[in-house]
Amino acid sequence: MAKTIYVLNGPNLNLLGTREPETYGHHTLADVEKLCRDAAARFGLTADCRQSNREGELIDFIHEAGASKAAGIIINAGGYSHTSIAIHDALIAVKLPAVEVHVSNIYSREPFRHHSFVASAAFATLCGFGIEGYRLAISGLAAKLGVTAKS
CA distance 105 to 55: 22
Residue count of the chain, please give it: 151
- CA–CA distances in Å: residue 26 to residues 3, 14, 21, 52, 133: 30, 12, 6, 20, 15
Catalytic residues: 24, 102
Q: Which residues pair with 74 in a beta bridge?
A: 7, 99
Which DSSP string do the residues of 19-87 spell out, in sequence order? S-HHHH-S--HHHHHHHHHHHHHTTT-EEEEEE-S-HHHHHHHHHHHHHTT-SEEEEE-GGGGGT-HHH
